[in-house]
Amino acid sequence: MIIPAPGRGSRGPAPVAPPRGTTPSYPARRLTAGQRLLLAGLVRSFAALLTPHTDNGGILQQWITAVHAANLPCLHAFTRGLDLGIRAATATLTLPHHNGRTEGVNT
């Protein structure tokens, strides 16, 4: 991990790398095998929503409900963001039009 020098765009204290020979503790590492399988299934079912279709709005609501019921901490922030921007998320997953090709293009 590269630690930025003070005064060169760093904000607050520099992050500290974990000691050598240790593995960082990620939320997914604290899940049981059953929870990991559930997480994998939820991620796959969300990936299926990424192809726009008119039915995806209702399916997205069902998916969010299923994630809340599963109570997987590693998905809490993601579903909270979806809840906050549900109209935009629904439009993204249901409408065939998007600005992906124009995003970031300077003319």
Evaluate whether residue 10 is within a structural domain: no
**Would you say residue 75 lies in a domain?**
yes
Is 104 a member of any domain? no
- Reported as a pLDDT band with limits 50, 70 and 90, residue 53 is very high
Distance CA 56, CA 46 (A): 10
Q: Does 10 or 18 have the greater pLDDT score?
A: 18
Domain that holds residue 78: 53-95
Domain count, the chain: 1
Between 1 and 29, the more confident residue is 29
Is position 35 within any domain?
Answer: no
pTM for this model (two decimals):
0.65
Residue 5 counted as domain residue: no
**% of the chain beyond a pLDDT of 90:** 49
Around 25, how many Cα atoms within 13 Å sit in the side-chain half-sphere? Answer: 2
In a domain, 88, yes or no: yes
Percentage with pLDDT > 70 across the chain: 64
Distance CA 53, CA 76 (A): 25
